[in-house]
Structures are given as C-alpha cells and as structure tokens.
Amino acid sequence: MAISVDQIKALREQTGVGILDVRKALEDANGDYDLALENLRAKGLATAAKRADREASEGIVELYSHGDGRVGVMVEVNCETDFVARSEEFRNFAHEIALQIAASAPEFIRVEEIPEGTINLKQKLAYEQALEDGKPDNVAEKIAEGRLKKYIQEVVLLEQEYIRDEDLSIEQLLLQTVAALGENVIVRRFARWELGESSAS
C-alpha cells in the first residue's frame, strides 16, 4: 500500500516523532495509520522508560487562567536541558498540562501520591455499598475494584483521559513527549484555584 504525504504529516503532528520514523512505522504497518500510531506509542513508551531516571531540573512554570479568571492553574514541568525548556514543543506540552488541570481538576499527579488510607476507604465503601445493593461477595469485590479504578482516573493527572483525545491518557501524552524530545520530562507539581472555593479544599 502506498504511503501518502498526508498520512506522514498527520502521524508526525499527532506523535511528534521524526519524519523518517513516521514513514518507517507506516511502512511496517502496511499503511495502517492506527497500527502505525499504536507502534509509535509503544516505541515511545520504551524510549521514555530508559530516560525516566535521568535528572530533570530545567523547565518552565506555566500559568493559565480560564473562564475570564474563574480558574487559575500554575504547573511546574521539568526537562533535562535549558535548550529543550525553551523549545516550542516542550512549552506546548506544559500548556496542555495546565489546560488539563484547569478542565479536569486532578488532586494528585501520580497514583502513589494518594494516601493508602484513602484508597482503602474508597474500596471498602464501594464494597459495602455493593453488598447493601444485594450483590454477591465476588461481584461486590469486582464492583469495588471498578469504582476504585474510576476514582483514580478522576483524581490522578497522569491517569486522566487527555481532554483533546480520549484515547490517550496524560501519561501516554507525557511519554510521547519524552520520546519526541529525547529527554526526561516530569510534571513536578501544580496548584489549581477556582473562584469562590474554600481555602481548605
């Protein structure tokens, strides 16, 4: 099957991967765009894993205000070098993360940040609710696991669906960025404010 310039361009824009790699992925997938995308994402995961332990202390603090100042976000995103920190692709990624935080209001960056007591309590309450609804024990356990997974996807930034592409998690978007930039990239910390919310929240 012939590989079109439009396919190459679209896949490059979607993944941030170099033209030669995009062409090869399309050729390897016999022109199947979705398969090529999946293969590139898998390759990105492998590349990113190799870079995950490298020091990332450069970067940007991205500020974003939404809805005429009703929601404000500040997020620190780090990379390895000042050169990458100044690149348009890195800055676009930081901006997309700020947009995601504004829109989806995560509470944590990674699953490991959720207190163990919170996880246990959410699972226990979901399990007890399922039993009260008359579900058998084994079904109640599965329901509790499902509700816990849903909770994690709602409150953990890296587990959330990307607001611009529901087939992509924020973690996958991050790993694609790592693969495209060739450096470790870390979402370090964030703060989100909403007009009128209690300071205790």
What are 65-119's pLDDT values in tens digits?
988 889 999 999 999 999 999 999 999 999 999 999 999 999 999 988 999 888 8
User: Pick from 46, 100, 48: which is nearest to 79 by CA?
Assistant: 48
* 40 and 127 together in one domain: no
Same domain, 99 and 174: yes
Percentage of residues of the chain with pLDDT beyond 90: 41
User: Hey, how many other C-beta atoms are within 10 angstroms of the C-beta on 153?
Assistant: 16
Q: Give which of 107, 84, 103, 83 is closest to 190, Cα–Cα.
A: 107
What number is the average pLDDT over the span 119-140? 87
Burial of 36 (0-12, 13-18, 19+ CB in 10 A): buried
pLDDT at 62: 95
Q: Are residues 166 and 187 in the same domain?
A: yes
pTM for the whole structure: 0.70
Q: Which domain holds residue 40?
A: 5-51
Q: Total domain count for the chain?
A: 3
pLDDT of residue 15: 67
138: exposed, middle or buried (Cβ count in 10 Å: 0-12, 13-18, 19+): exposed
Residues 181 and 100 in one domain: yes
Report the distance separating Cα 71 and Cα 128, nearest Å: 36
